[in-house]
């Protein structure tokens, strides 16, 4: 993952996002529809490379 930009769809409480950052990802974007899960993810993450956003994955459009 070193140097990669990672997107975690349905990130839940962010365990994969934190792991990707530990593996030296350049940046990590965690997306989930649940505000409660995102609150837990944010509270559990202490890395500025990891960003969480609320998104409906059925309507999600990512830039390529």
Q: What is the pLDDT of residue 60?
A: 83
pTM reported for the whole predicted model: 0.90
Q: In the chain, how many domains are there?
A: 1
Given a cut of 90, is residue 64 above it in pLDDT?
Answer: no
Q: How far is CA 54 from CA 1, 22, 31, in A?
A: 24, 23, 6
Residue 28 lies in a domain: yes
Closest CA to 34 of 60, 10, 7: 10
Q: Which domain holds residue 16?
A: 5-54
pLDDT tens digits, 16-54: 999 999 999 999 999 999 999 999 999 999 999 999 999
Which pLDDT band, with edges at 50, 70 and 90, does 61 fall under? confident
**What is the spatial distance between Cα 53 and Cα 35, in angstroms, rounded to a whole number?**
9
Residue 34 lies in a domain: yes
Residue 18 lies in a domain: yes
Q: What is the pLDDT of residue 10?
A: 97
Residue 62 lies in a domain: no
Residue position matching structure tokens 């990590």: 28
């Amino acid at each position: 993952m070193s140097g990669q930009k990672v997107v975690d769809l349905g990130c839940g409480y962010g365990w994969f996002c934190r792991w990707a950052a530990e593996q030296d990802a350049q940046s990590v974007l965690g997306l989930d529809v649940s505000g409660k899960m995102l609150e837990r993810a944010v509270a559990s993450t202490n890395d500025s490379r990891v960003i969480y956003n609320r998104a409906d994955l059925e309507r999600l459009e990512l830039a390529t």
